[in-house]
């Protein structure tokens, strides 16, 4: 399997990237998700897609190119990871929505549904604004560390465990630009 090795600035640790999902696989899944959303929302006036920054921006951009239903795009920025590979458990809202969602059909677009802590926080915040419907579209549903009983309505890939980067998903702000999705292995300096 093709891999990349990059030295990490912290303590000489190397990061090995192994291809998990190719750009072709991602494209097919994004088209499939868009097709399902088009069917589910056919005849609706419009839906509001809320992308969670920063990780979901590439996924959201590709998803909307395949949607035929009218959409409004908005973004919210939340953080619970910082520079770490797992959630801190503390969710911070770094930016808010610009469009009202009261009595609107809303789909939250997320790169990875992991522990569920961030999503639970966001869903609770959005429910206070009384949307007509509220669904989740996750590119990757990673269940290994799920702490909250949250299920995505639309899922691109199911992943049991592993830390991933690429296609907008980062590790410490690196690797977002990669067109494929990779798992990251952290190697000791001796490796």
Ordered by where they begin, the domains of the chain are 23-161 (3.40.50.2020)
Write out the E strands in the chain.
3-7, 14-21, 47-53, 71-79, 92-95, 105-113, 133-142, 154-159, 164-165, 181-187
Q: What is the pLDDT of residues 144-171, one digit of tens each?
A: 877 788 999 999 999 988 899 999 999 8
* Active-site residue, 114 included: yes
Instruction: Please enumerate in sequence order all residues whose Cβ is within 8 A of that of 42, keeping only pairs 6 or more positions apart, or say none.
Output: 69
Please tell me the distance from the alpha carbon of residue 97 to that of residue 73, in angstroms, as a whole number. 10
Q: What is the pLDDT of residues 21-58, one digit of tens each?
A: 999 999 999 999 999 999 999 988 899 999 998 989 99
pLDDT at 12: 59
Q: What is the pLDDT of residues 101-135, one digit of tens each?
A: 999 999 999 999 988 888 998 999 999 999 999 99
pLDDT at 114: 87
The answer, yes or no, to whether residue 6 has pLDDT greater than 80, is: no
Q: What is the helix (H) or strand (E) element at residue 60, kind and residue range? A: helix 57-64
**Whether 108 contacts 95, CB under 8 Å:** no
Q: Choose, from 105, 111, 114, 141, the residue flagged as catalytic.
A: 114
Check whether the bond before 54 is cis (ω within 30° of 0): yes
The pTM for the full model equals 0.85
Q: Which two tokens stand for residue 4?
A: 């990349």
């Amino acid at each position: 399997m093709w891999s990349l090795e990059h030295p990490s600035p912290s303590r000489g640790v190397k990061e090995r990237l192994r291809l998990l999902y190719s750009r072709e696989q991602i494209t097919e899944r994004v088209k499939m998700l868009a097709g399902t959303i088009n069917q589910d929302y056919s005849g609706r006036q419009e839906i509001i897609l809320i992308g969670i920054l920063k990780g979901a921006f590439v996924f959201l951009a590709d998803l909307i190119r395949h949607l035929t239903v009218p959409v409004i795009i908005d973004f919210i920025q939340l953080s619970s990871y910082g520079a770490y590979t797992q959630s801190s458990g503390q969710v911070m809202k770094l930016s808010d929505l610009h469009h009202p969602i009261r009595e609107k059909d809303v789909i939250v677009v997320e790169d990875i549904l992991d522990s569920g802590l961030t999503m639970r926080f966001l869903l609770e915040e959005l429910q206070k604004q009384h949307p007509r419907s509220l669904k989740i579209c996750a590119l990757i549903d990673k269940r290994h560390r799920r702490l909250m009983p949250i299920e995505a309505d639309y899922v691109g890939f199911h992943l049991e465990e592993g830390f991933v980067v690429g296609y907008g998903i980062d590790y410490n702000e690196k690797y977002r630009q990669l067109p494929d999705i990779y798992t990251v292995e952290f190697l000791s300096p001796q490796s």
